[in-house]
């Protein structure tokens, strides 16, 4: 399908600069803006996120190296977390939806690009996506509770069939690592400067605990007196 070819062309470019806006549904839960660069070839990414809602969340600078996400703390130190796979930790957590396109309707088709409305299935993305990514995509969708979900949106491509913009309407999640999630999301992405060199150096932050370990430690073992 043309949409999958567009994802592959975007990834094959090696690097991309992106801007992302996220708004939850209901809107009062979260609204944020991110700018970053993704190095698909080296599985690295760097981004800065400004959160408007909730209002008391500080700006965040993150570096992703494979499955490990490093977040810079307000004092300048770094916190590391192992998400278990790069697809769950990176831009592919959003872009991976397009591997599962089940329907695409052309709105604009021209030599310099095209625009489509799309319906996407997470399970189809896992079943028919690139073999090297299938286990990672499955984990990413399982973590968010979206493995059996369908998303809708639109995607815009350039003359080289690379994705230059897209919007995802993601429904509330089912059972995931964090339990059932009853909050949906609208994610808008704009891509530019394909193939430009990107120097992303992960910090020395020591061992990275797994996401499961971190959640277990946060929740405790249930034996506390309270």
pLDDT digits (tens, 9 = 90+) for 113-130: 999 999 999 999 999 999
**Does the pLDDT value for residue 165 go beyond 80?**
yes
Which of 167, 173, 206, 217 lies closest to 20 in space, CA to CA?
167
Domain 2-219 has CATH 3.40.1710.10: no
Tell me how crowded residue 31 is: count the other CB atoms within 10 A of its CB. Answer: 17
- Residue with the bigger pLDDT between 221 and 74: it is 74
CA distances from 162 to 24, 138, 192 (A): 27, 24, 10
Mean pLDDT of the chain: 91
Residue 144: closest CA among 1, 22, 4, 8: 22
């Amino acid at each position: 399908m043309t949409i999958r070819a567009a994802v592959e062309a975007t990834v094959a470019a090696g690097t991309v600069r992106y801007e992302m806006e996220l708004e939850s549904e209901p809107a009062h839960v979260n609204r944020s803006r991110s700018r970053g660069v993704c190095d698909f070839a080296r599985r690295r990414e760097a981004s800065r996120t400004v959160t408007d809602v909730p209002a008391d969340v500080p700006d965040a600078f993150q570096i992703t190296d494979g499955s490990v996400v490093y977040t810079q703390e307000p004092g300048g130190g770094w916190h590391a977390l192992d998400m278990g796979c790069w697809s769950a930790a990176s831009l592919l957590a959003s872009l991976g939806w397009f591997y599962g396109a089940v329907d695409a309707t052309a709105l604009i088709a021209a030599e310099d690009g095209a625009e489509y409305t799309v319906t996407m299935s997470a399970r189809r993305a896992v079943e028919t996506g690139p073999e090297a990514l299938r286990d990672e995509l499955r984990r990413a969708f399982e973590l968010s509770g979206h493995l059996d979900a369908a998303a809708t949106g639109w995607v815009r491509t350039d003359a080289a069939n690379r994705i230059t913009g897209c919007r995802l309407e993601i429904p509330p999640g089912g059972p995931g690592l964090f339990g059932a999630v009853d909050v949906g999301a609208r994610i808008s992405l704009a891509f530019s400067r394909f193939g430009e060199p990107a120097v992303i150096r992960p910090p020395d932050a020591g061992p990275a605990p797994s996401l499961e370990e971190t959640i277990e430690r946060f929740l405790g073992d249930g034996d506390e007196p309270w």
